[in-house]
Amino acid sequence: MPKKRDAKKINFTSIAEVPTMPMSLGSMLWNKTGTWRNIRPEIKLEDCIQCGICWKFCPDMSILIENEWPVVDYDFCKGCGICAEECPAKCIVMVEERK
């Protein structure tokens, strides 16, 4: 399981907390884009050749590398299917999302 990536939403409670210059105060990691998905990638690690191609082409930085193996972060994966399409070992399959 990948380490949980998270951030808090920012709620201003008074105008005094709002910076006078509009500035970014935090990341988008609170936004779990995994909920957009209706198909999910599943990696069959026994066929994986560790080429890193899924990691390289994921537009959502949702293939993480753990102990030299690719792991999908389902909190953010939008289910585009690029990893499955590009995997040269054909070891990623897109399956219907379980609700």
Give the integer Cα–Cα distance in Å for 93 and 83: 9
What's the one-letter identity of residue 57?
F
CB 92 within 8 A of CB 43: yes
Stretch that binds ligand SF4, among 2-10, 19-27, 45-53, 58-66 (CB under 6 A): 58-66
Our finding on whether 95 is near another protein (CB under 8 A) is no
Stretch that binds ligand SF4, among 2-10, 18-26, 45-53, 76-84 (CB under 6 A): 76-84
- Residue found by looking up tokens 């293939």 in the block: 63
Give the integer Cα–Cα distance in Å for 62 and 80: 11
Our finding on whether 80 is near ligand SF4 (CB under 6 A) is yes
Residues 43-82 interacting with another protein (rule: CB under 8 A): 45-46, 50-52, 55-57, 59-62, 65, 68-70, 73, 75-76, 78-82
Stretch that binds ligand SF4, among 8-16, 21-29, 44-52, 79-87 (CB under 6 A): 79-87
Cβ-proximal residues to 34 (8 Å cutoff; 6+ apart), any chain: 73, 74, 75, 76, 77, 78
* CB of residue 3 to another protein, shortest distance in Å: 13
